[in-house]
Amino acid sequence: MQANKVNIAIVGLGFGAEFIPIYQRHPQAEMFAICQRNKEKLDQVGDAFGIAKRYTDYDELLKDSTIDAVHINTPIPDHAAQSLKALRAGKHVACTVPMATTVEECRQIVEAVKETGLTYMMMETVVYAREFLFMKELYEKGALGKIQFLKASHQQDMDGWPNYWPGLPPMYYATHCVGPVLGLTKAEAEYVSCFGSGTIREELHPFYHSSYAVESTHIKFRNSDLSAHVYRSLFDTARQYRESFEVYGSEKSVEWPLIEGRPLVLHTAKRPEPEIPEEVVSPDYAHLLPEPIQLFTTRGVYDSDGSQHLSFTQGAGHGGSHPHLVHEFVSALTGRREPFPNARQSANITCVGILAHESAQQGGAIVPLPAFTML
């Protein structure tokens, strides 16, 4: 790695292409290479962004000693294997969510990071969205008072999504709601209890041997009096896309709007009853970023032609999080520090969802998080 400059390779150019110009503009990054199995798509993106170094074979990319780090944006079932390959090839890893699909894969990644001394960061969008950063600022200033409870949801209609999505148990991919409830106070989940509710249509059952329309989980925090409630739905549940996060404090609480695009609701204790709630528009936090990438908090890469990835458009631009994710990863590498979330924290967040589904299959049984996910 050059002094204060990181050579980045992006792997997967659907959602991954959203990050290319952010890395290109970041003062401490070199958008060095791209990888995509489809040669036509690879060249289309490479030509559009002027990237000469192109790979259709991931293994060949990993042999390139001039690449310092990979940012993986491939389908969920590939995340763990590709992260492990990269770490074992001497590359730092940023990976889109979730970290893995099994507890064992999460363990292997945590161990690989320890063995290699390399950096791993799960690129969870919600913990860098402007709404989360607003609540985090209130928390760090003490304006919320004592935190009493946290709640989050991620509801989405996945009908029509390809490959591994049909019938996916809701909690298998729960990082968007687990991440913020743990991330606000940098807490660790100690154990979970989850219930399944409702039934998706029968043709979706065989894929994962799961019938639940909704999964609802309580998370007990380690070494804390706090717990959180998170819930997910993916099929046969009428709901506009929603990634919500709510925090309840002794002095102030913040609730997510019921309809996308409406303001947050800030509640202040001890005011006259009609004056307790007020609508507040979350400020933008571009000022936390290097000036060349600040514009990406308020617009997407493809705003001009409307060709954003579906997850970006359904997710309302992911709260302007993409440049924050890039900056956290790059600045952690150049500053020789741990990013948030690091490998262990990412495993704790990801394993909550995996084990929550196991709990639901056992009728809500308490399932502990494994020790490797905690300090």
Q: What is the CATH number of the domain that holds 256?
A: 3.30.360.10
- Tell me the average pLDDT across 242-264: 97
Considering the domain boundaries, does residue 337 fall inside one? no
Report the pLDDT value the prediction gives residue 299, as an integer from 0 to 100: 64
d(CA 172, CA 235): 13
Q: Comparing 192-206, 303-317, 357-371, which segment has the lowest mean pLDDT?
A: 303-317
Considering the domain boundaries, does residue 326 fall inside one? no
Residues 70 and 114 in one domain: yes
Report the pLDDT value the prediction gives residue 4, as an integer from 0 to 100: 84
DSSP 3-state of 224: coil
Task: Check which CATH number belongs to the domain holding 111 and give it.
Answer: 3.40.50.720
Residues 131 and 107 in one domain: no
Show which of 123, 143, 173 is a domain's final residue: 123
Report the pLDDT value the prediction gives residue 280, as an integer from 0 to 100: 98
Considering the domain boundaries, does residue 33 fall inside one? yes
d(CA 75, CA 296): 24
Mean model confidence pLDDT for the chain:
95
How many distinct structural domains can be found in the chain? Answer: 2
DSSP annotation string for 292-353: GGGGGGTS-TTTTTT---HHHHHTGGGGG-HHHHHHHHHHHHHTT---SS-HHHHHHHHHHH
Considering the domain boundaries, does residue 338 fall inside one? no
Rounded percentage of the chain residues whose pLDDT exceeds 90: 92
Residues 183 and 94 in one domain: no
How would residue 298 be classed by pLDDT, with cut points 50, 70 and 90? confident
Residues 298 and 170 in one domain: yes
Each residue's pLDDT tens digit, 333-346:
999 999 999 999 99
Provide the CB-side half-sphere exposure for 226 (13 A, CA): 23
Residues 137 and 266 in one domain: yes
Nearest residue to 228 via CA among 240, 243, 245, 215: 245
Report the pLDDT value the prediction gives residue 301, as an integer from 0 to 100: 53
Each residue's pLDDT tens digit, 340-374:
999 999 999 999 999 999 999 999 999 999 999 99
Considering the domain boundaries, does residue 330 fall inside one? no
Show which of 94, 123, 152 is a domain's final residue: 123
- Tell me the average pLDDT across 237-248: 97
- Tell me the average pLDDT across 58-69: 98
Rounded percentage of the chain residues whose pLDDT exceeds 70: 94
Residues 96 and 172 in one domain: no
0.85 cut: is pTM over it? yes
Residues 110 and 239 in one domain: no
Structural domain for 105, as ranges: 6-123
Residues 156 and 230 in one domain: yes
Dihedral (CA of 13, 15, 21, 23) sign: negative
Indicate whether 314 pLDDT > 50: no
Each residue's pLDDT tens digit, 77-91:
999 999 999 999 999
Residues 115 and 185 in one domain: no
Residues 171 and 238 in one domain: yes
Considering the domain boundaries, does residue 327 fall inside one? no
Considering the domain boundaries, does residue 271 fall inside one? yes
Report the pLDDT value the prediction gives residue 2, as an integer from 0 to 100: 67
Residues 136 and 274 in one domain: yes
Show which of 123, 152, 168 is a domain's final residue: 123
Residues 201 and 250 in one domain: yes
